[in-house]
Amino acid sequence: QSNVTVYGVVDATVESVQAKGGNAADIERRTRVTSNSSLIGFRGTEDLGNGLKALFQVESGFNADGSGTSTLATRDTFVGLTGGFGTVQLGKLTTFMRQAGAKVDFNPAATGIGFQAATYGTIGGIKTGVDERINNAVMYTSPNFSGFAAQLAYSAGENKLDRTAPAEDVNANAYQLAAAYENGPLYVSAGYALSKDPSAAANPGNGNFAGTFGLGGNASDKLKTARVAAKYTFPTNTSISALWDQTKYEADLSIASTEAKRTAWMVGAEQKFAGNQAVYLQYSRSQKIKEEVCVDGIGCADLDGKTQFAQWTLGYTYSLSKRTMVKAYYTRINNQRESNVDFYLSSIGGVRADQDPTGFGLGLRHTF
Amino acid sequence: QSNVTVYGVVDATVESVQAKGGNAADIERRTRVTSNSSLIGFRGTEDLGNGLKALFQVESGFNADGSGTSTLATRDTFVGLTGGFGTVQLGKLTTFMRQAGAKVDFNPAATGIGFQAATYGTIGGIKTGVDERINNAVMYTSPNFSGFAAQLAYSAGENKLDRTAPAEDVNANAYQLAAAYENGPLYVSAGYALSKDPSAAANPGNGNFAGTFGLGGNASDKLKTARVAAKYTFPTNTSISALWDQTKYEADLSIASTEAKRTAWMVGAEQKFAGNQAVYLQYSRSQKIKEEVCVDGIGCADLDGKTQFAQWTLGYTYSLSKRTMVKAYYTRINNQRESNVDFYLSSIGGVRADQDPTGFGLGLRHTF
Amino acid sequence: QSNVTVYGVVDATVESVQAKGGNAADIERRTRVTSNSSLIGFRGTEDLGNGLKALFQVESGFNADGSGTSTLATRDTFVGLTGGFGTVQLGKLTTFMRQAGAKVDFNPAATGIGFQAATYGTIGGIKTGVDERINNAVMYTSPNFSGFAAQLAYSAGENKLDRTAPAEDVNANAYQLAAAYENGPLYVSAGYALSKDPSAAANPGNGNFAGTFGLGGNASDKLKTARVAAKYTFPTNTSISALWDQTKYEADLSIASTEAKRTAWMVGAEQKFAGNQAVYLQYSRSQKIKEEVCVDGIGCADLDGKTQFAQWTLGYTYSLSKRTMVKAYYTRINNQRESNVDFYLSSIGGVRADQDPTGFGLGLRHTF
């Protein structure tokens, strides 16, 4: 029987949210008590000799507020080996590309309604999956060379059954190739993700692209994301960060094809002060979705609408200790006329085009 | 990484239950193996200095018998701060008023079919929620003054969307204000609970009052409970306890209104003997529900029926140690002609008017 | 507060599976990442004096690959007492008969697609429940006499409600009586299981026999299993094992009756070598199902078809330590013309008559 570490986080906030604007009926202000990525985990390592180690982790998210149903192993859960050759893991995993979103975000642990993946982790609100853990994963991470590491991740789609006539092999596998450098004050990463048949049920992190972008039903479609992120901390305890993400959805049926592309970016800054406090401000923006639909023998049409939107978050943290923090934040999504995007985490629900979700909150975060 | 305490209870009994009487077909006697509020939890505190402490707890109930689906954080789960000012907690919480029901109940840990909240925690079998944990909760408990403490609890309804036409703001928030005194042999508590729109989905502990008491659909209805409880232990190891609960459901639509009120009470006594044994007997009664329906311009009508019912429980416990106990019990609900109330916990299911659920059981309770 | 041991297993493999043959469309080869009976548990004992001990365990399976929903207490979970009189447990339990299947199986922990209960734990693919844990269980195991122990297990059906007209008492209880001897190199066990109304919902481990074998609807039907198993390890680190299982399903309605009987057996061998490696090969076979349907006043008819099938598994394990293992395996089910049996664990889904599921895998198993 080995050494198991029990660890976790309970993060809960009292929030006031609303969504107004546009022509639809307002979503009136209401008070919520929200659990923000609360989790409990069990992990450990075993030294196998010759520099080789076995790794395991079982991590489960839970709603600290009693809402919904919380189940086991919903967060990073794996078995793996690490040694001179690098690290191999099997399970449900966070990749470098997902990590990049968290690295540049100044919300504690990149959680809550202020987390801004709504812009760079979706196409018009449909999640690309890059900011989600990948299921059925095998991941190789290189050894760390003075802060630099490369990573190759594979997620098995597991549903290679023909689903429509005429018979067609679908194979909703996903791949990510990324590199990250982290040393002292500097963090930089770059990565590329390819998701085949991203609307297949086996990719729960992904949304229904096939239904949204012109070609319904099953298609040999693809989702491609390139992402670059960086963060730098100055000796003044000032940190700045930026992220750029370009995602393209492509579908090609025998008689028609469609492509939807959007570019998103984020910038942020945080100032620590008085030893245990910090303020941060971050802004991100999803540019207009460039959508083109082509029908064989007829031609192509652009379907671009006013689909831009942006989000900004202002936050403050007060650390009572290394493990316990009081936090406060305000965030707002500005949707343009044809955008109805909601918060990425703890969404309000029912947001309609041109409505702007806003919220502020105050709460406690404890890490154990 | 901090100190986490893993704790829990496995409580399982072999039971024989039935429900007979009235004109409906009997529910024949059957044997069950029942898990009684088995749980596993993780909790800890962190000393923040200056008398301030951070608190956390993650507690999950589970069915030790393999029945149903057991998920995480289904019991008291919270993050909080405690200090000279008192205690503030956010999460899913047990209030003083819920605690009152457990304090006066002599069933070990107030669990099993012998637990009598069927009378004082329901209106005619529809749960009022007072004997359930509250979700989306913020709770303040005063410092303890020689055994006395006061408490204010708030539960966010989180569903302030218009749901029916004509548009109406619903806001299923709930509030509780209570005080408790516990010092040496004496425990006394009193509290008042107000639940707005108690039939809303956001209040899972509450039943469908709107559908039962004359006015269906969405209503600006309210549920109000006053509860007093006390317990006293004599030097002879004899304990006596009592609880009184009055609950009123009110709904007021533009053309009609309804009100349903019931009073319930319980008395109990326990005698400890031989160092590690105890016998207890408790009786509780829900008086007739006084229901009045008024239609504007027409008048009011009383809809009182023979809705009284009572429950009594006789129990015996034999402690093998401080943590392990053998227990046995018999309980019976006497339903009047228009009452079809089932056990509050581990119900039989399908009980019809005038049928009397009875059950006896024998089992083991282990606390770790 | 007592001593709680946290323990578990994370077992994940990369697999390639397919099912081909027969006239139906092939199930094409696809890659999967599969979690094999990964689990986390909490257990402990308390010494009560006089040779008496209290036992508890809470064990939960989880999908390490992010698939599906993993909940609490889905594996052996109980409270119990053990002493000179033997052991009594209440909860969700593994019996000697279920254990027999695991004892003779050389797959590490008898898990994965190579586990062969598909033959001896089903009738034509419908699970008999003998290789599942029993719910609502009370189990008595005798003291161990030089390796010999006897066991009586009871599983309460809990659904003794009349379900069909004409009214009929159904009582889906199950019973098992078994004995096992394990001493040095030899393991032998024999057991008999009786399941009443095995198609009732209360027996989740069992399949829909009533719907499959000629008489639909509710019936006072029975499932009876006799099982013998043995294993012997030679001084050369060679182990051989065998299991024989005969299961009979009987239903008797007022106007007709049906009986389906099948015999299954398994043999296996494992050779350990080089201190930390092993290879194993095992073969099992389910004989033709002998089915007879009788209609009162008309006579009986045999419905035997080509329902035989067999499975074989070849495996290799390489232990990196006592707790960490690399494993590889190949397995194949050969279905005859009227058999469409899938893997018992981690099934492919959609296998049709005469198709042969095959798979190979490679992965890691870590015990903590």
Please indicate whether, in this complex, the C-beta atoms of A77 and C60 are within 8 angstroms of each other: no
B169 touches C at CB < 8 Å: no
Q: What band does A14 get if pLDDT is binned at 50, 70 and 90? A: very high
The pLDDT of residue A59 is above 80: yes
Please tell me which of the candidates B30, B40, B366 has its beta carbon nearest to residue C79: B366
C44 touches A at CB < 8 Å: no
Strand partners for C229 = C189, C243
DSSP state for residue C271 in the 8-state scheme: E
- Residue range A158-178: mean pLDDT, rounded: 67
pLDDT tens digits, residue range B91-125?
A: 999 999 999 999 999 999 999 999 999 999 999 99
Residue C237 Cα distances to A334, B219, C185, C318, angstroms? 70, 75, 10, 15
Please indicate whether, in this complex, the C-beta atoms of C368 and A44 are within 8 angstroms of each other: yes
pLDDT at C76: 98
| % helix, strand, coil for chain C, step of 5 | 5, 55, 40
- Minimum distance, in Å, between the CA of residue C257 and any CA atom of chain B: 27
Phi-psi map region of C102: left, alpha, beta (phi>0 left; psi -120 to 50 alpha): alpha
Complex ipTM > 0.90: yes
Lowest mean pLDDT among A58-62, C2-6, C164-168: C164-168
Contact between residue A143 and residue A130 where contact means Cβ atoms under 8 Å apart: no
CA nearest C2 in B: which residue? Answer: B368
- Which secondary-structure segment (H or E) carries C367? strand C356-367
Q: How many CB atoms sit inside 10 A of residue B321's CB?
A: 16
Please tell me which of the candidates C48, C133, C162 has its beta carbon nearest to residue B320: C48
Contact between residue C293 and residue C324 where contact means Cβ atoms under 8 Å apart: no
Map residue C196 onto helix, strand or coil: strand
C158 touches B at CB < 8 Å: yes
The pLDDT of residue C32 is above 90: yes
Which residue from A364, A324, C319 is spatially nearest to B49, judged by alpha carbons? Answer: A324
For CA atoms A83, A88, A90, A91, give the dihedral sign. Answer: positive
C70 touches A at CB < 8 Å: yes
The pLDDT of residue B259 is above 50: yes
Burial B263-274 (b: 16+ CB within 10 A, else e): bbbbebebebee
Q: What is the CA radius of gyration of chain C?
A: 21
Which residue from C333, C305, C332, C320 is spatially nearest to C364, judged by alpha carbons? Answer: C320
* CATH architecture under which domain B5-367 falls: Beta Barrel (2.40)
As a whole number of angstroms, the distance between CA C269 and CA C24 comes to 35
Which residues of chain B lie closer than 8 angstroms to C138, CB-CB? Answer: 14, 33
- List the structure tokens of C338: 């009227």
Cα of C99 vs its chain's centroid, Å: 8
pLDDT tens digits, residue range C74-131?
A: 999 999 999 999 999 999 999 999 999 999 999 999 999 999 999 999 999 999 999 9
Strand partners for C262 = C247
- Residue range A35-48: mean pLDDT, rounded: 98
pLDDT at B169: 52
Q: What band does C164 get if pLDDT is binned at 50, 70 and 90? A: very low
The residue with greater pLDDT, B218 or B248, is: B248
pLDDT at A304: 83
A14 touches C at CB < 8 Å: no
- Residue range B51-74: mean pLDDT, rounded: 96
Map residue C73 onto helix, strand or coil: coil
Parse chain C into domains and list their residue ranges.
16-36+98-132+165-367
| Range 50-69 of B in CB contact (< 8 A) with A | 52, 54, 56-58
CA nearest C73 in A: which residue? Answer: A72
pLDDT tens digits, residue range A90-122?
A: 999 999 999 999 999 999 999 999 999 999 999
CA nearest B52 in A: which residue? Answer: A320
pLDDT tens digits, residue range A234-289?
A: 999 999 999 999 999 998 877 888 899 999 999 999 999 999 999 999 999 999 99
- Which fold, C16-36+98-132+165-367? Porin (2.40.160)
Burial of C297 (0-12, 13-18, 19+ CB in 10 A): exposed
C42 touches B at CB < 8 Å: yes
| Range 305-344 of A in CB contact (< 8 A) with B | 320-321, 323-324
pLDDT at B90: 98
pLDDT at C27: 87
Residue A264 Cα distances to A56, A185, A196, A245, A283, angstroms? 35, 25, 21, 5, 11
Cα of C221 vs its chain's centroid, Å: 21
Please indicate whether, in this complex, the C-beta atoms of B65 and C91 are within 8 angstroms of each other: yes
Which residues of chain C lie closer than 8 angstroms to A2, CB-CB? Answer: 323, 368
As a whole number of angstroms, the distance between CA C78 and CA B43 comes to 23
- List the structure tokens of C137: 């269980």
pLDDT at B164: 45
The pLDDT of residue A17 is above 90: yes
As a whole number of angstroms, the distance between CA A15 and CA C249 comes to 59
Map residue A271 onto helix, strand or coil: strand
Please indicate whether, in this complex, the C-beta atoms of B321 and C48 are within 8 angstroms of each other: yes
The pLDDT of residue A217 is above 60: no
A70 touches B at CB < 8 Å: yes
- Minimum distance, in Å, between the CA of residue B113 and any CA atom of chain A: 24
As a whole number of angstroms, the distance between CA A269 and CA A233 comes to 9
As a whole number of angstroms, the distance between CA B193 and CA B98 comes to 10
Please indicate whether, in this complex, the C-beta atoms of C320 and A48 are within 8 angstroms of each other: yes
B94 touches A at CB < 8 Å: no
- Minimum distance, in Å, between the CA of residue A27 and any CA atom of chain B: 7
Which residue from B149, B100, B17 is spatially nearest to B268, judged by alpha carbons? Answer: B100
- Which secondary-structure segment (H or E) carries C296? none
**Mean pLDDT of the residues in chain A:** 92
Which residues of chain C lie closer than 8 angstroms to A80, CB-CB? Answer: 364
Across A290-304, A354-368, B295-309, which has the greatest mean pLDDT?
Answer: A354-368
- Residue range C134-156: mean pLDDT, rounded: 97
How many CB pairs below 8 A link A and B?
A: 132
C160 touches B at CB < 8 Å: yes
What is the full DSSP assignment across B161-189?
S--SSSP------EEEEEEEEEETTEEEE
Best residue in B62, B92, B94, B171 to probe A by mutation, most A CBs within 10 Å?
Answer: B92
- List the structure tokens of B33: 């193996």
Burial C52-90 (b: 16+ CB within 10 A, else e): bbbbbbbbbbbbbbbbeebbbbbbbbbbbbbeeebbbbb
- List the structure tokens of A271: 């100032």
**Mean pLDDT of the residues in chain B:** 92
- Given a contact as 3+ CB pairs under 8 Å, which chains touch A? B, C
CA nearest B88 in A: which residue? Answer: A364
